[in-house]
Amino acid sequence: MVAHDRAGLDDPVKLLRSLFREEHGQTMALLTITLLTLIGVVAIVIDVAVFAEEKRQLQNAADAAVLAAARELPASPAAGEAAALNYLTSNGYTVSPGDVSVTITTPYAGNTEFAELVVTNHDVPYLFARVLGFISLDISARAVGEVVTGFEDDYAIFAIDNSCGAAGISIGG
């Protein structure tokens, strides 16, 4: 043993001070903290991506369902609700208490040619945030559809962007 080590054994305070002054293992501690942070960020990104994908699928199903409901309006709101539920089921969302809930409002905003559909997928599980105590999340989508009459053929037009310009959209053929 070296002389200064024996002196530290006699005085525990000096021993602790000498241990804290040493920098051995500092890189390992920094690497561990960095890796844990990186793993945490990746876990959050994966959970957010899973929820975004679920929201996209739910919105697509809601859009299709409300268009199916709107085809039956204003003649038969009950048939519109049945068609909407059928389209939701076709898109993988079976309405059952506790899992998926649906609210169909017709007439919507006082107009019998409009239908609103709100679908909520309850208890979508977290993948990685469970470690932090998060278990599940409710995801909802809302769609409003309108029946449009006066066309000889059946068309559905989806507007993704409203920057068509002065000429508008021309559909033919």
Pairwise CA distance, residues 52 & 58, whole Å: 10
When mean pLDDT is compared across 19-28, 30-39, 54-63, the lowest value belongs to: 19-28
Secondary structure class of 89 (helix, strand, coil): helix
Task: Give the pLDDT score at 52.
Answer: 95
Over residues 44-68, the pLDDT tens digits come to 899 999 999 999 999 999 999 999 8
> What is the band of 168 on the pLDDT scale with cuts at 50, 70, 90?
low
Q: Is the pTM of this model over 0.85?
A: no
Is residue 49 within 8 Å of residue 68, measured between CB atoms?
no
* H helices present in the chain, as ranges: 3-10, 12-21, 26-71, 77-90
pLDDT tens per residue, range 112-152: 888 899 999 998 999 988 887 889 999 999 999 887 766 56
Q: Could you give the percent of the chain with pLDDT greater than 70?
A: 79
Residue 72 phi/psi, 5° resolution? Answer: -90, -5
Question: Does the structure show a pLDDT above 80 at 32?
Answer: yes
Q: What is residue 1's predicted lDDT score, i.e. its pLDDT?
A: 45
Predicted pLDDT at 63: 92
Q: Per-residue pLDDT tens for 66-114?
A: 998 888 888 888 898 899 999 999 988 888 877 898 888 888 888 888 8
Cβ–Cβ under 8 Å, residues 69 and 106: yes
